[in-house]
């Protein structure tokens, strides 16, 4: 049975053969993570962070920010929660359509993840400069992973959070789930398809937000990649790395993904395909 | 039979626990509902179709923006059921705009089953 809810700015579906309350507990994680990390909700914990003021936060927000900073460090800033492409995506109908240069209020062009300071001792966050923290990708990945943990006792299930997938165990036919990757240029077509068990599959694509994803390192639109998919043990990792792979040079991305022991498939705007060794076909 | 729940799983690279009860799940009445979301460039009307208390379809009903709906629609009109007959699931990038999401939330608000206290209050 497939259950669906609108949460975290997207449509989330869970397919599982389990009592309603199990799926409900899984959906609760999405609502809970959203309550802490949402950019949409003025009352969210994230929105209470003020620059220059060290603020003790919940474990959920702390872990989301900590993970985002770790990936930022690991990718040399290609993923950056302070100026990331996700923010550009969310502002889609405010600046993408007009072509206006947008500036988040009181946020400098040169802010970066280095302006965010964490202290694990009192679990606090300090924004050293005025900036907008966007945890979109990380929060959704975290919610998917937490929901997957909730459903783990049932073994076989699928979570689809607006295209971010976590596929556990087997499909109703007793086979690994088949996960297709949407072709970024041919509507309705697949770029590729893989059998997946116990893995997350996340994709960033230029059809998502035109060619207006910001490369956080340069502050310019990233235009080189049409689609970047990462297959990893956790959605948190897969989503963050797919976002990073969108702005990195494809060869650099493949190296990064290989170093992180995850798989990936990248299609450039020139339609050149790059794969990690684990996805290469004989 | 489900196995006993464990605290950790391979899917989650760290331990977070639920600290507080979140809002209860909404229940929806069957039917087709619309809601408006506004942006500086005009309104977007979202439509949701509820069947057996579940969302079976969600998308844009009308686009009253200064820009063609086609700019936005292919990006966010995603069926909620399986997207292709060839695969179980499709990984895709589908960030939606704030206006669309707000419209969707408004549509779902219209579909929401009134709580017993709301139902008892005469309009």
Q: Residue A97: its pLDDT value, please?
A: 31
Give the pLDDT band (50/70/90) at residue A255: very high
Tell me if B39 is assigned to some domain: yes
Q: Which domain holds residue B53?
A: 31-83+95-113
The pLDDT assigned to B36 comes to: 84
Q: Please indicate whether, in this complex, the C-beta atoms of A177 and B22 are within 8 angstroms of each other.
A: no
At residue B40, the pLDDT reads 58
Q: Decide if A18 and B2 are in contact by the 8 Å CB cutoff.
A: yes
Domains in chain A and their CATH numbers? Answer: 49-136 (1.10.3980.10)
pLDDT in the model for residue A47: 85
Quickly state the pLDDT bin for A210 (edges 50, 70, 90). very low
Put simply, the answer to whether A153 touches B3 (Cβ < 8 Å) is yes
Q: B110: exposed, middle or buried (C-beta count within 10 Å: 0-12, 13-18, 19+)?
A: middle
| pLDDT value of residue A261 | 93
Mean pLDDT over all residues of chain A? 84
Lowest model confidence (mean pLDDT) among A65-69, A212-216, A232-236: A212-216
Supply the pLDDT for residue B72: 53
In a domain, B26, yes or no: no
Give the model's pLDDT for residue A222. 63
B100 located within any domain: yes
User: Which residues of chain B make contact with A180, given a CB cutoff of 8 A?
Assistant: 83-84, 86-87, 89-91
Q: How far is CA B45 from CA A11, A107, B63, B110, in A?
A: 16, 32, 6, 13
Nearest to A136 by CA among B102, B40, B98, B16: B98
Predicted pLDDT of residue B82: 46
Q: Does residue B104 lie within any of the structural domains? A: yes
CB of A60 within 8 Å of any CB in chain B? Answer: yes
pLDDT of residue B97: 58
Residue B61 lies in a domain: yes
Does the residue B37 lie in any domain? yes
User: pLDDT for B24-54, tens place per residue?
Assistant: 556 778 999 988 877 656 677 888 888 877 7
Answer whether A182 sits within 8 Å of B90, measured CB to CB: yes
> pLDDT at position A96, please?
31
A104 versus A163: the higher-pLDDT residue is: A163
What domain count does chain B have?
1
Q: What are the tokens at A223?
A: 């235009």
User: Does residue A270 have a pLDDT over 80?
Assistant: yes
Alpha carbon of A110: minimum distance to chain B alpha carbons (Å): 25
Assigned domain for B53 exists: yes
**Does A93 contact B99 at a Cβ distance shorter than 8 Å?**
yes
Mean pLDDT over A123-131 rounds to 92
Residue A105 pLDDT greater than 60, yes or no: no
pLDDT (tens digit per residue) in A81-97: 886 433 444 443 343 33
**Residue with more model confidence, A282 or B78:** B78
Mean pLDDT of A229-242: 94
Complex prediction ipTM: 0.81
Q: Does B24 reside within a domain?
A: no
Q: Distance between CA A67 and CA B77 in Å, rounded?
A: 31
Mean pLDDT of A32-59: 87
Q: Does A63 touch chain B (CB under 8 A)?
A: yes
Residues of chain B with pLDDT under 50: 1-11, 20-23, 74-83, 122-123
Give pLDDT tens digits for A12-42. 889 999 988 899 999 999 999 988 988 767 7
pLDDT given for residue A40 in this prediction: 66
The DSSP annotation for chain A comes to -EEEEEETTEEEEEEESS-HHHHHHHHHHHHHHHHHH-SS-TTSTGGG--BT--EE--HHHHHHHHHHHHHHHHTTTSS-TTT-HHHHHHTIIIIITT-PPP--TT--TT--GGGEEEETTTTEEEESSS-----HHHHHHHHHHHHHHHHGGG--EEEEETTEEEEESB-TTSSBEEEEEE-SSSTT-EEEEEEESSEEEEEEEGGGBTB-EEETTTTEEE-SEEEEEEEESSHHHHHHHHHHHHHS-HHHHHHHHHHTT-EEEEEETT--EEE-GGG---
Q: Could you tell me which residue, A92 or A193, shows the higher pLDDT?
A: A193
Provide the percentage of residues in chain A whose pLDDT is more than 90.
53
Please report the pLDDT score of residue B17 as a whole number. 58
Spell out which residues of chain B touch residue A160, defining contact as CB-CB under 8 Å.
Answer: 89
Alpha-carbon distance A150 to nearest alpha carbon in chain B (angstroms): 7
């Amino acid at each position: 049975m497939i259950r669906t809810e609108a949460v975290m700015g997207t449509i989330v579906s869970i397919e599982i053969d389990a009592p309603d309350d199990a799926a409900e507990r899984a959906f609760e994680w999405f609502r809970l993570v959203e309550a802490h990390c949402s950019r949409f909700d003025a009352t969210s914990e994230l929105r209470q962070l003020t620059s220059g003021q060290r603020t003790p936060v919940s474990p959920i927000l702390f872990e989301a920010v900590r993970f985002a900073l770790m990936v930022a460090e690991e990718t040399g800033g290609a993923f950056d929660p302070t100026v990331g492409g996700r923010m550009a995506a969310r502002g889609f109908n405010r600046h993408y359509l007009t072509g206006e240069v947008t500036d988040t209020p009181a946020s400098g062009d040169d802010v970066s993840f280095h302006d965010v300071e964490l202290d694990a001792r009192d679990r606090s966050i300090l924004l050293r400069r005025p900036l907008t923290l966007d945890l979109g990708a990380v929060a959704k990945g975290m919610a998917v992973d937490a929901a997957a943990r909730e459903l783990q006792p049932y073994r076989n299930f699928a979570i689809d959070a607006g295209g971010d997938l976590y596929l556990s165990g087997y499909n109703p036919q007793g086979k690994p789930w088949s996960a297709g990757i949407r072709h970024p240029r041919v509507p309705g077509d697949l770029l590729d398809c893989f059998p997946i068990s116990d893995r997350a599959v996340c994709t960033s694509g230029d059809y998502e937000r035109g060619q207006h994803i910001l490369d956080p390192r340069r502050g310019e639109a990233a235009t080189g990649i049409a689609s970047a998919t990462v297959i990893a043990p956790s959605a948190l990792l897969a989503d963050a790395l797919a976002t990073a792979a969108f702005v990195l040079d494809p060869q650099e991305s493949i190296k990064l993904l290989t170093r992180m022991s995850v798989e990936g498939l990248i299609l450039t705007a020139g339609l050149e395909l790059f794969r990690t060794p684990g996805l290469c076909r004989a | 039979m489900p196995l006993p729940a464990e605290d950790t799983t391979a899917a989650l690279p760290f331990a977070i626990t639920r600290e507080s009860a979140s809002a209860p799940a909404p229940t929806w009445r069957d039917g087709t509902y619309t809601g408006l979301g506004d942006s500086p460039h005009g309104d977007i009307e979202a439509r949701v179709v509820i069947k057996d208390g579940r969302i079976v379809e969600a998308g844009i009903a009308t686009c009253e923006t200064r820009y063609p709906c086609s700019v936005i629609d292919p990006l966010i009109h995603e069926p909620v059921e399986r997207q292709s007959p060839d695969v179980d699931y499709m990984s895709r990038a589908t960030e939606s705009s704030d206006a669309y999401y707000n419209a969707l939330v408004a549509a779902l608000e219209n579909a929401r089953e009134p709580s017993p206290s709301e139902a008892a209050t005469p309009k």
